[in-house]
C-alpha cells in the first residue's frame, strides 16, 4: 500500500518549502505537477506532495511532521 498527501503552506512558496525539506533530507514533490489548471482554480502557484510507501517507517512520518512544524513556525 501507498499513500499520498498534497498540501500548501499559507504564505510560503512551494519551492521554498521543498528546499527547506530537502535540507532536512526529506524528499517531497513541489510545483504544479502537470495540473496547472487546478492550481490556478485554487489560486495557488503549486502544491507540495508527500508519497509514503511500505518502505517508510513510523519514525519517518514522525520526522516529517516534526520538520514541517519547524519550517512553518
| pLDDT, average across residues 38-60 | 93
Sequence-ordered list of residues with C-beta below 8 angstroms from that of 40, at least 6 positions apart, any chain: none
| pLDDT, average across residues 36-60 | 92
Residue 48, helix vs strand vs coil: strand
Residue 57 has pLDDT above 90, yes or no: yes
Sequence-ordered list of residues with C-beta below 8 angstroms from that of 53, at least 6 positions apart, any chain: 1, 2, 3
Q: Of the ranges 1-5, 25-29, 39-43, which one carries the lowest mean pLDDT score?
A: 1-5
Q: How far apart are CA 64 and CA 55, in angstroms?
A: 15
pTM: 0.86
Amino acid at each position: 500500500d501507498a499513500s499520498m498527501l498534497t498540501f500548501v503552506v499559507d504564505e510560503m512558496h512551494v519551492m521554498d518549502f521543498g528546499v527547506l525539506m530537502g535540507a532536512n533530507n526529506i524528499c517531497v514533490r513541489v510545483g504544479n505537477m502537470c495540473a496547472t489548471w487546478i492550481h490556478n482554480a485554487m489560486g495557488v502557484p503549486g502544491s507540495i506532495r508527500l508519497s509514503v510507501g511500505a518502505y517508510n517507517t513510523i519514525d519517518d512520518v514522525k520526522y516529517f511532521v516534526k520538520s514541517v512544524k519547524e519550517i512553518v513556525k
